Amino acid sequence: MELGIRGKVAMVAAGSKGLGRAAALALAAEGCAVSVCGRSEASLAAVKAELEALGVPALTVAADVAKAEDLARWHQATEAALGPVQILVTNTGGPRAAGSADLSDSDWAAGVESTLMNVVRLSRLVLPGMRAARWGRIVHITSLVAKQPTPLLTISSTLRAGLSGFTRTLALETAADGITVNALLPGHVMTDRQVHLAELRSAAEGISMDEYYARTAAAIPAGRLGDPQEVGAVIAFLCGSPASYLTGQSLLVDGGLVQGTF
């Protein structure tokens, strides 16, 4: 399928690893110029080489998505190097994993900055240009815990549900301007974050990592954990012209794990 986004300028937050990297590579494969931010210089250098190998302009900027000044600097650098931003993919590694009794006020404050406010700030930065062009795509990478909360991910469960609300309200505000806003809710996908959570859960239950992964896969109707590229492909579709009538949605990509009707 031709997605009609060749030459578009895309920003992908936390795009040097995991789902962000998968999104960046999927958009580059469709011909987008891609700007990625991340905290690891080594990972940024590696993903830049991968993007350039796909024959597209690429920019990488060291930035922490929890810091407003870093996001503003990244956005400014992107527009200076590549042009007006037409696609935004927000993403973050996730807040501290713990039950509510073990979370301090500072844990919650850090979670709000890294999981919620980065999305609000990035959206605010790119929307004026998208409105002027009367075309734009915003995709928020969140998590299935927005629909199926879990006690280990108390902060994430709370804030991801809030992001679904933000996604819907922002979509209502921008649809008439030719902009779509959607959230993508991945399930168990093999990333560094998945490994970290597997370590915590297997240790708490006194089982091996292999046992944890086997049990997790057995609970998924698809019978396996996801691959980041599968998530990246869905993000690219949501950013494409064929998805121009799809907005305000929180779309699960979880192998059928969350089985509620809505």
User: Residue 262 falls within a domain, yes or no?
Assistant: no
Range of the structural domain that residue 216 is part of: 190-225
Residues 19 and 36 in one domain: yes
User: Residue 259 falls within a domain, yes or no?
Assistant: no
Residues 138 and 218 in one domain: no
Q: What is the 3-state secondary structure (H, E, C) of 54-109?
A: CCCCEEEEECCCCCHHHHHHHHHHHHHHHCCCCEEEECCCCCCCECHHHCCHHHHH
Residues 248 and 202 in one domain: no
Residues 90 and 163 in one domain: yes
Residues 99 and 213 in one domain: no
Are the CB atoms for 119 and 224 separated by under 8 Å? Answer: no
Q: What is the CATH number of the domain that holds 247?
A: 3.40.50.720
Residues 150 and 204 in one domain: no
Tell me the C-alpha distance between 41 and 20, whole Å: 15
Token pair listed for 169: 């309200």
Residues 174 and 161 in one domain: yes
Question: How many domains, in total, are found in the chain?
Answer: 2
Residues 92 and 61 in one domain: yes
DSSP string, 152-177: TBHHHHHHHHHHHHHHHHHHHHHGGG
Residues 89 and 182 in one domain: yes
For the stretch 39-96, pLDDT in tens is 999 999 999 999 999 999 999 999 999 999 999 999 999 999 999 999 999 999 889 9
For the stretch 217-243, pLDDT in tens is 999 999 999 999 999 999 999 999 999
Residues 244 and 123 in one domain: yes
pLDDT at 5 over 80: yes
C-alpha distances in Å from residue 230, one per residue of 25, 43, 166, 195, 217: 12, 21, 25, 18, 16
> Is this prediction's pTM over 0.85?
yes
How many CA atoms within 13 Å lie on the side-chain side of 47?
32
What b/e sequence results for 49-61 when a residue is b if at least 16 CB atoms lie within 10 Å of its CB, and e otherwise? eebeebebbbbbb
